[in-house]
A and B are shown apart, each in its own frame.
Chain A
Amino acid sequence: MLLEVAGLKKSFGSIIVADDLGLAIAPGEAVGIIGPNGAGKTTLFNLIAGSISASAGSIRFDGRDLSGVPPQGRCRAGIGRTHQIPQPFEKLTVFENLLVGAVYGGRKAEHEATQSCGEILERLGLLKRANTLAGSLTLLERKRLEMARVLATEPKLLLLDEIAGGLTEGECAELVATIRDIRESGVAILWIEHVVHALLAVIDRLIVLNFGRKIAEGSPKEVMQRPDVHQIYIGIEA
C-alpha cells in the first residue's frame, strides 16, 4: 500500500472531524471521497499533508510512518495536495510557482526543474501564461496552476480537493481528461469532489464520509446505490 491511514482521530473542540478513520490506497490507484460539508474531508487532507496533526491514529506513506514529519517532509516524500480555493504564490509568475515546487518539493537542480516545469505547463495548457503573475489568472487557470504546481513536486499521491467545483461543463470535462492523464502516468489519486459525475469518470473506488466517519466504501456504482448514501447525497443537493 502507498498510503495507509489507521484509527485517525481529530476534533476541534466538541466537533469531531475524524473518528477512528482508516483507509488505504495502492500505488497508482484512484479513490474518490464524497460526503456532506463538515464531514471531515478537507480535514483528512490536512492530516495527511501534515498541516494539522491528529490526536490519535497513524498515517503511513510508502512504508514510512509520517508522525512528526512536517508538511515539507511529506511533500518531499511524495504527497502533493491542491486546495479547494487555489492558492498560488500570487506575486510569483506561473513558471516560478512551478519552479518552487520542483526545486524544493521535487529536489531537482535548477536546469532539470526548468525542463520538467516547461513540460508540465505545456501539458496543462498554461505555457503561454508562463510569465504572467499568478495573481492575475482566471479561476480555471488558477485551478490548472494549482495542479501544475503540485505535479512539479513529482508526487506519488495526489490529493485533489474539489478541483472541479465552479467550472463550466466544458472546463470540467477538460480537467477530468487531464486528471485521467495524470493517473495514467502512474500517480495515485485521492479526490474529494461534490461534482460526482466528474469523480466517477476517473476513480476505481469511492469512500463516503459523514461526521468524521467512513460510512461506505466500495465500487462507485455500488456505493452510490446504497440508500444511506443516497439520503446523505440528497441532503447535499438540497
Chain B
Amino acid sequence: MTGWLDALIQGVLLGGLYALFAAGLSLMFGVMRLVNLAHGDIIVLAAFAILVVAGKLGLDPFVAVALAAPILFVIGFALQHVLLNRTLGRDLLPPLLVTFGLSIIIQNGLLQIFSADSQRLRSGAIETASIPLGGGIAIGVVPLLTLLSAIAVIVVLNMIFYRTPIGRAFRATSDDLEVAELMGIDISRIFATAMGLAFVVIAIAALYLGLRANFDPTIGPARLLYAFEAVIIGGLGSFWGTLAGGVVLGLAQTIGARIDPEWQILAGHLAFLVVLALRPRGLFPRAQD
C-alpha cells in the first residue's frame, strides 16, 4: 500500500517537471501557432548553459538561472525576430523544417563541445534532502521544488496573459493576426516577446532537468515528446491544462514503473493514447480552439 501511495506522490511531483517542459511549448503554440521541434534540445542547451555558467563563476545553479534568465529572454527574442518569424505564415511546413534543423544543429553542436558524457547540475545538500511524511514515505526537496516552480510558472504566465497589456496583445494576436495588425500591434515584436518569455520558462525547466537527473546532448527529443504529450493531454491553449497533462503523464509513468520498472515510459505513452482516443481535444480544451 505504502508503495502505491509513494508512486502516486512521486508521479505528481514528476508531473511538475513535465509541466515545466510543456509550459514553454504551450506558450509558443498558443501565441504564434509555432510547433517547436527543437524544444527539447533547447531545454538541454539551457541545461548546459547553466552548467557552464555555474561552473565558471562558481555559482549555485539556482543563482545561475536567475542570472541567465534575462540573457535567455534576449536570445529567445532574437531567435524569433531574426529566424522564426520568417518561417511563420499560411504554410505549416517551414517552421517544422526550421525547428527540426535547429534540433539537429543543437544536438550535434553540444556533442561536439561537451562530448556524449552525462552531466549533472550540482547544488550541494539540497539535491538529496527530503522531507519525511511518515509511514515510510518521504518526498525529495528538489522534486517538490520542481512542482512548486511549475505551479508558480503557470500562475505567473496566467497573470501575464490575463492581467497585462502585453498578455492582451498575445491573446488578440492568437485570435486574429491580421486584425491585430490593423489595431496597431506589431506582431513580429509580440511573437519575439512571447519567445523570450518561453526561453525564461525553458531556463527554469532546464534547471530541474539537470538537478533531478543526468543529462547528455541526445536526450532532447524525448523531453520534446513528454512536453508534447503533456500539452495534448491537458488540452491546447490552457496553462492549467498543461500542468494537469504533466501530472497525468507523471502519474502514468510512476504507476507503470511500480508494476514493472520496464513499463515506465510505455505506461506514459499508453496514457497519452487513451486520452487521445477518449478526449481528442484533451482534458481541459479552451472553448472553440
Name A residues whose Cβ lies closer than 8 Å to a Cβ of B: 49, 51, 70-72, 75-76, 81, 83, 87, 89-92, 96-97, 99-101, 103-107, 110, 113, 135, 149, 153
Known: A51-B182, A104-B169, A104-B186. 18 other contacts (CB 8 A): A72-B183, A72-B186, A75-B181, A81-B182, A87-B176, A87-B179, A89-B171, A90-B288, A91-B287, A92-B168, A96-B172, A101-B183, A101-B184, A103-B165, A104-B165, A104-B184, A105-B185, A106-B184
Contacts of B288 in A (CB 8 A): 90-91, 135
- From residue A75, how far is it (CB to closest CB) to chain B in Å? 4
Give bound CA distance, A193 to B61, whole Å: 64
Q: Quick check: is B178 within 8 A (CB to CB) of the other chain?
A: yes
Name B residues whose Cβ lies closer than 8 Å to a Cβ of A: 165, 168-169, 171-172, 175-176, 178-187, 286-288
- From residue B44, how far is it (CB to closest CB) to chain A in Å? 34
- From residue B236, how far is it (CB to closest CB) to chain A in Å? 13
CB pair A149–B175 under 8 Å, yes or no, is no
CB pair B171–A149 under 8 Å, yes or no, is no
A89 touches which of B179, B184, B286, B287 (Cβ 8 Å) = B179
Give bound CA distance, A100 to B172, whole Å: 8
Give bound CA distance, A141 to B186, whole Å: 27
30 contacts between A and B (CB under 8 A): A51-B181, A51-B182, A71-B181, A72-B184, A72-B185, A72-B187, A75-B183, A81-B182, A87-B176, A89-B171, A89-B175, A89-B179, A91-B175, A91-B286, A92-B171, A92-B175, A99-B168, A100-B180, A100-B183, A100-B185, A101-B183, A103-B165, A103-B169, A104-B165, A104-B185, A105-B184, A105-B185, A110-B165, A153-B183, A153-B184
- From residue A177, how far is it (CB to closest CB) to chain B in Å? 25
Contacts of A106 in B (CB 8 A): 184
Contacts of A149 in B (CB 8 A): 183
Contacts of A89 in B (CB 8 A): 171-172, 175-176, 179-180
- From residue B113, how far is it (CB to closest CB) to chain A in Å? 40
Contacts of A153 in B (CB 8 A): 183-184
Q: Which residue of B lies closest to A133 (CB)?
A: B287
Contacts of B169 in A (CB 8 A): 100, 103-104
- From residue B181, how far is it (CB to closest CB) to chain A in Å? 4
CB pair A72–B181 under 8 Å, yes or no, is yes
Closest 9 CB pairs of A and B: A105-B184, A104-B184, A75-B184, A71-B181, A89-B175, A104-B185, A89-B172, A100-B172, A101-B183
Contacts of B286 in A (CB 8 A): 91
CB pair A99–B165 under 8 Å, yes or no, is yes
- From residue A91, how far is it (CB to closest CB) to chain B in Å? 5
Contacts of A107 in B (CB 8 A): 184
CB pair A90–B185 under 8 Å, yes or no, is no
Q: Which residue of A lies closest to B179 (CB)?
A: A87
Tell which of B168, B171, B175, B183 has the most Cβ of chain A within 10 Å. Answer: B183
